[in-house]
Amino acid sequence: MTLATLPAFLAAHPGAILVEVVEVKGSTPREAGTLMLVAETALWGTIGGGHLEFLAIDCARRVMAGETTQTELDVPLGPEIGQCCGGRVRLSLRRVDQSVQEALLRRLADERAAFPEVMLFGAGHVGLALARALSHLPLAVTLIDSRPEIDGDVPDGISFRRVAMPEAEVAKVKTGGAAVILTHDHALDFLIAKEALARGDLAYVGMIGSKTKRATFASFLEREGMGRAAVDRLILPIGGSVVRDKRPAVIAAMVAAEILGVLLKSD
């Protein structure tokens, strides 16, 4: 689900029903505040799947057809509906009129503004694969490259900037965000990483490369007057060591999991 796709869905499906989880008790598939839009032949979002979602969709479509005026569902998640969560969910159903649509767009825009920021430096094969992997996640992702041509198309929902000096963009990453360095040039990688590590307020600074590249970068930082603590904050190689596979999509999946583990971890 992305904010970019919501206006298109609403335009294509006037009269859709907004299903919202308004109260949860015990173990449930999704938390209170979760939304789903139901149209006659399409859906946007999910309230957790299973028979709970089937009941919600069926009720919403009967509301659209004028077969019921029901505005609420109170569903126990037990054997009687084929789910074993053991909790209870209360759902509200509202037809999407102009005021509901505007409130929904404002809410999702506010949520998106609060997403952790990830800046990807380098739109090569791995950079684009990682952008695709992150594009559906609750993250604000920007892709940076200096070349006149990149190695493919930028995914929907990802911001892209072509700049002459990518290292200067590091200052724009929000506090607590992530910088992931995957450029075509080792020297540029080092310049970007130096700027990112010098800040000290980023939750994740990662660079693609090998243990040899890490050792070379450590020597570079030492010559630049930065201490061992800066190197220790750098994730290099990125993506862990459990799966040793150099295909861009596999690297992207591993790095996406690594980033989520840092930026979305529970307090």
3-class SS of residue 132? helix
Do 65 and 155 belong together in one domain? Answer: no
For residue 90, give every residue at least 6 positions away whose Cβ sits within 8 Å of its Cβ, in sequence order, or none: 21, 22, 23, 24, 72, 73, 74, 75
83 pLDDT tier (thresholds 50, 70, 90): low
Is 70 in the same domain as 119? no
3-state secondary structure of 266: coil
Q: Which of 87, 265, 50, 73 is nearest to 176 (CA)?
A: 265
Nearest C-alpha neighbor of 197 from the set 227, 165, 155: 227
Say whether both 218 and 123 belong to one domain: yes
Most confident of 5-19, 231-245, 248-262: 248-262
pLDDT of residue 153 exceeding 90, the answer is yes
pLDDT higher than 70, residue 267: no
* Domain containing residue 132: CATH number: 3.40.50.720
- Does residue 69 sit in the same domain as residue 174? no
pTM beyond 0.95: no
- 207 contacts 213 by C-beta, under 8 angstroms: yes
Same domain, 148 and 243: yes
Do 31 and 146 lie in one domain? The reply is: no
The confidence score (pLDDT) of residue 266 equals 59
pLDDT tens digits for range 43-56 = 999 999 888 999 99
In terms of domains, do 159 and 101 share one?
no
Domain end: 112, 137, 158, which one?
A: 112
Residues 53 and 122 in one domain: no
Distance CA 207, CA 255 (A): 10
Highest average pLDDT, of 46-50, 203-207, 229-233, 262-266, comes from 203-207
Average per-residue pLDDT for the chain: 90
Among the three residues 68, 89, 112, which one is the final residue of a domain in this structure?
112
Domain count, the chain: 2
- Tell me, yes or no, whether 98 and 122 share the same domain: no
The amino acid occupying position 167 is: E
- Which residue range forms the structural domain that includes residue 141? 115-263
How many C-beta atoms surround the C-beta of residue 63 within 10 A? 20
147 pLDDT higher than 90: yes
Residues 183 and 206 in one domain: yes
Q: 118 forms bridges with which residues in the sheet?
A: 141, 178
Q: Are residues 106 and 119 located together in one domain of the fold?
A: no
Choosing from 58, 92, 112, the residue where a domain stops is: 112
Asked if 119 and 184 sit in the same domain, the reply is yes
